[in-house]
Amino acid sequence: MEKPIEELMRILDRLRGEGGCPWDRKQTFESLKPFIIEEAYEVAEAIDKRDWNELKEELGDLMFLILFFTHIAQEKGIFDLEEMAKGTAQKIIRRHSHVFGDLKVKDSQEVENNWHKIKEQEKGGLLSGIPKKLPALLRAQKITRRAQSVGFDWEEAIGALEKIEEELRELKEAFEKGENLEHEIGDLLLSTVNLCRLVGIQAEEALHKACDRFVERFSYIEKKLKEQGKDLRKASLNEMDRLWNEAKGK
């Protein structure tokens, strides 16, 4: 009986081969990039919804895209599925020397620090290997967490909070002068991410939840105005503010 991974690779052979699918045949590494990012987000959304059937489906879609990339690489003679899997296995073993080797660790934090040390040796720098294409909040949290691993950090979260206050003062000065606004807003955001990390909050998740609250409250405004037979675009700011506060109080 054909194994599922082998079946998927055979399907890709057919899709990419002569007489296959015109769309699949023209895909490249570059053209597939947006799709694999989208699928990864759909996996995350299924987890947030705790919909395990959807998670199974989305992980399957993600796996198919990984195999699609691998198939293209194989066509170009860059690497094949076996090489990729073997390389990944070797990397995981190498980075888990406390399991597969003689290294002794006392807790998960030490495991993480050791992981970063090994990765630093592989990549050539402590902050190397953090993709620039990551969402900015996630990238910021990873960068500051790596810096923390070598002691470049505040001893307590209050230090990060005071840094936010300092950055806010600098932003106000920039606003008054009408210059360097992007720079100062960026510094303020980075400092806020640092505080999130120090108090155990994922900045990306915190902002997602804030967006969800905004959507929920704004939808309440739309609903109430519609019930009153009013056009959202003609409603006054005071009227919308009142409904916003009403939604916030629920």
Co-location of 108 and 170 in the same domain: no
Whether residue 81 sits in one domain with residue 106: no
In the predicted structure, residue 82 carries a pLDDT above the cut 70: yes
Do residue 177 and residue 134 come from a single domain? yes
pLDDT at residue 54, as a whole number: 97
Q: Residue 55: which H helix or E strand, with range?
A: helix 52-75
Question: In Å, how far from its chain's centre is CA 129?
Answer: 15
Average pLDDT on 64-88 reads: 96
Same domain for 242 and 188: no
Average pLDDT over the chain, rounded to an integer: 93
Output the pLDDT for position 63. 97
Same domain assignment for residues 192 and 112: no
Share of the chain above pLDDT 90, in %: 80
Domain finish residue from 87, 112, 128: 128
Does residue 122 sit in the same domain as residue 142? no
How much is the pLDDT for 153? 93
Q: Collapse the DSSP code of 39 into the 3-class scheme (helix H, G, I; strand E, B; otherwise coil) and give the result.
A: helix
Sign of the CA dihedral with 38 first, then 44, 49, and 53 last: positive
For residues 148 and 223, membership in a common domain is answered with no
Answer yes or no: do 91 and 67 share one domain: yes
Residue 86 pLDDT > 90: yes
HSE of 207 in the Cβ direction (CA atoms, 13 Å)? Answer: 11
Same domain? 142 vs 193 = yes
* DSSP secondary structure code for residue 232 in this structure: G
The residue ranking higher by pLDDT, 115 or 218, is 218
Provide the whole-model pTM.
Answer: 0.70
Spatial distance between the Cα atoms of 158 and 195, rounded to a whole number of angstroms: 8
What string of DSSP letters covers 65-123? HHHHHHHHHHHTTS--HHHHHHHHHHHHHHHTHHHHSS---SSHHHHHHHHHHHHHHHH
Are residues 30 and 66 located together in one domain of the fold?
A: yes
pLDDT at 119: 79
- pLDDT score for 201: 96
Query: Residue 180 belongs to a domain with what CATH number?
Result: 1.10.287.1080
| pLDDT at site 149 | 83
Predicted pLDDT at 61: 97
Q: Which of 50, 71, 95 is the last residue of a domain?
A: 95
**1 band by pLDDT with thresholds 50, 70 and 90:** low
Domain encompassing residue 86? 4-95
Do 214 and 175 reside in the same domain of the chain?
A: no
Same domain, 49 and 59: yes
In the chain, how many domains are there?
A: 4
Q: What is the pLDDT of residues 14-57, one digit of tens each?
A: 999 999 999 999 999 999 999 999 999 999 999 999 999 999 99
87 has pLDDT over 90: yes
pLDDT in tens, 151-176: 899 999 999 999 999 999 999 999 99
pLDDT at 192 over 90: yes
Domain boundary among 70, 95, 120: 95
User: Across residues 72-79, what is the average pLDDT?
Assistant: 97
pLDDT tens readout for residues 94-130: 999 999 998 898 899 888 888 878 877 888 788 888 8
Rounded average pLDDT over 64-92: 96
